[in-house]
Structure 1
Amino acid sequence: MDFCAIDFETATHEKSSACEMGICVVQDSRIIETKTWLIKPPSFPYFSRFNIGVHGITPEDVKDAPTFDEIWHEAQDMIYGSLMIAHNAGFDASVLRGCFEYYGMFTPQLNYLCSIQLAKKSWNYLPKYGLKSLAEYHSINFNHHRAGADAEVCAKISLLAFEKLFLTSNDEVHEYMKAKIKRL
């Protein structure tokens, strides 16, 4: 099983306002690397108080950080050719698209899957499918609403879901989840 989990935190409601990105790379069903980047968003120095209240990232934290277009090449090398998984993937895909559009960058042809959909197929008896609820259910501790930690927990939950569903290869995942896999 090879995939990458991705997560974004944003500075404002604008989809291009990524202020942190985390990517967790899984190869042969093992987490091999998790990386986090602080990002100076286009809105800098403005950050929504609501967003700061969620993730705790402030303008001071990103004042010397690179912009999205300056770090994408490194991130792209980590996810090239992989299935991308995110928890509430519609949000993360829209942030990724928003950043590409803002910087006039080519949007890669990435397939992505939402780990909420995967969790609902794996544990259809749970009352909640938020990342925090699923982590608590599986006794996984993490620093919620920080991109690297969220991406890594998304990867761990996805691996547990694949195991529960007896999915052992990317081909099996594509076949089983084909209606849920979207294209960036």
Structure 2
Amino acid sequence: MDFCAIDFETATHEPNSACELGICIVENGTITRSKSWLIKPPSFPYFNPRMVEVHGITPNDVQHAPYFDQVWEEINSELYGHLLIAHNASFDMRILKGTLEYYGLFAPRNSYLCSVGLSKKSWRGMASYGLKNLCTVHGIKFNHHRAEDDAYACAQVALLAFERLLLTCNEEVYSYCKNQIKKL
């Protein structure tokens, strides 16, 4: 089982406003590493106050951070060839696509899966499939709305879901989730 959990935090509601990206790499069913990048968004120094309330990242935090295009090569080398998993993947993929488009960068050919849908298949009838609730139910501790922690929590939830569904390798995931897996 190999995949990369991914999470973005944003400065505004614009699809190119990534201010933090976190990833968590799973290899052979084990979390092997996680990493995050603070990113200076195109709107800098403007940050929507509501977004700052959510994640706590301010313009001061990113004033010396690189723009996305300056770290894309490093990020892409981590994502390359992996199935991407995100909690509420439509949001994170919209930000990834919007940011790549803004900088004129080619989108990778990765496939992606939403861990919300995966969780709904794994634990039917829950009141909420939000990341915070799933982590509370499963005893996963994390700093919510910080990209690396959210990516790590997403990876843990996905691993638990795969275990519950008796999916042990990527081929089984692709077969079982074929209607949910999309291409970037």
- Specify if TM > 0.5: yes
Q: Secondary structure at the match of 1:64?
A: coil
8 Å CA contact retained: 2:2, 2:82: yes
Q: Structure 2: give runs of 5+ residues left out of the alignment.
A: none
TM-score, normalised with respect to structure 1: 0.99
Match in the other structure for 2:8: 8
Q: Structure 1: give runs of 5+ residues left out of the alignment.
A: none
8 Å CA contact retained: 2:7, 2:92: yes
Alpha-carbon deviation of 1:107?
1.1
Distance 1:20 1:173 in 2: 28
Alpha-carbon deviation of 1:125?
2.1
Give deviations 1:146-175, integer Å, cap 9, x for gaps: 000000000000000000000000000000
Give deviations 1:112-156, integer Å, cap 9, x for gaps: 000000000000121100000000000111100000000000000
Match in the other structure for 2:65: 65
TM-score, normalised with respect to structure 2: 0.99
Distance 2:177 2:58 in 1: 38
Match in the other structure for 1:31: 31
TM-align CA RMSD: 0.5
Q: Which runs of 4+ in 1 moved over 6 A?
A: none
Q: Match of 1:116, as an amino acid? A: V
Distance 1:139 1:102 in 2: 38
Map 1:91-110 to 2 at 5 A. Answer: 91-110=91-110
Q: Match of 2:106, as an amino acid? A: F
Match in the other structure for 1:178: 178
Identify the range of structure 1 (102-111 vs 56-65) with the bigger mean alpha-carbon deviation: 102-111
Identical aligned residues as a percent = 59
